[in-house]
């Protein structure tokens, strides 16, 4: 279940060694002011080596995540996002839960004009599971390219 992220309006993780949080509940997502809040544009984060654990077997699951958003007043601070995503490494949850939770928590933090997340999961039991979540409406003057992840054929 998505939580409301701890809001940090200025970076506290930059410029220092920071341990990886043990789980998503300990992770802190930070935001910074958008220097162009009056301009419609899209930002993309790609995490091609996202890892979590199957909540039933404890085996690792792997995904290629693509997070696109049209910022409003805030941007997600990239180091905090990297640590947040890494906190799922030892977290047991289904593909759908991980993907939607990440999207909801980033949206709660930033309140973007638009956000979408694509979770392109590698097969579990011989079946790849792709999960998509979106909030808001893409502004008319913003170009949102395809996420660029191939249909499953080894994802490569």
Max Cα distance, the chain (Å): 48
- List the catalytic residue out of 38, 54, 98, 130: 54
Active-site residue flag, 61 = yes
- List the catalytic residue out of 61, 97, 98, 130: 61
- Nearest 5°: CA angle at 147, between 143 and 153? 155
Which helix (H) or strand (E) segment is 52 a member of?
A: strand 43-53
Which residue, among 75, 135, 126, has the nearest Cα to 104 in the 3D structure?
135
Q: Which residues are catalytic?
A: 54, 61
């Amino acid at each position: 279940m998505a939580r409301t992220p701890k809001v940090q309006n200025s970076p506290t993780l930059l410029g220092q060694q920071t341990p990886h949080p043990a789980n998503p509940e300990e992770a802190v997502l930070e935001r910074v002011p958008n220097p162009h809040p009056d301009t419609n544009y899209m930002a993309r984060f790609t995490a091609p080596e996202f890892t979590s654990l199957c909540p039933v077997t404890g085996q690792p699951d792997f995904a290629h995540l693509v997070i696109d958003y049209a910022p409003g007043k805030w941007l997600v601070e990239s180091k905090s996002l990297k640590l947040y995503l890494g906190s799922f490494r030892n977290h047991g949850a289904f593909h759908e839960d991980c993907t939607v939770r990440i999207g909801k928590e980033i949206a709660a933090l930033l309140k973007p004009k638009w956000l979408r997340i694509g979770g392109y999961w590698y097969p579990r039991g011989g079946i790849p599971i792709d999960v998509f979540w979106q909030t808001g409406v893409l502004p008319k003057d913003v170009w949102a390219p395809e996420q660029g992840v191939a249909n499953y054929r080894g994802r490569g």
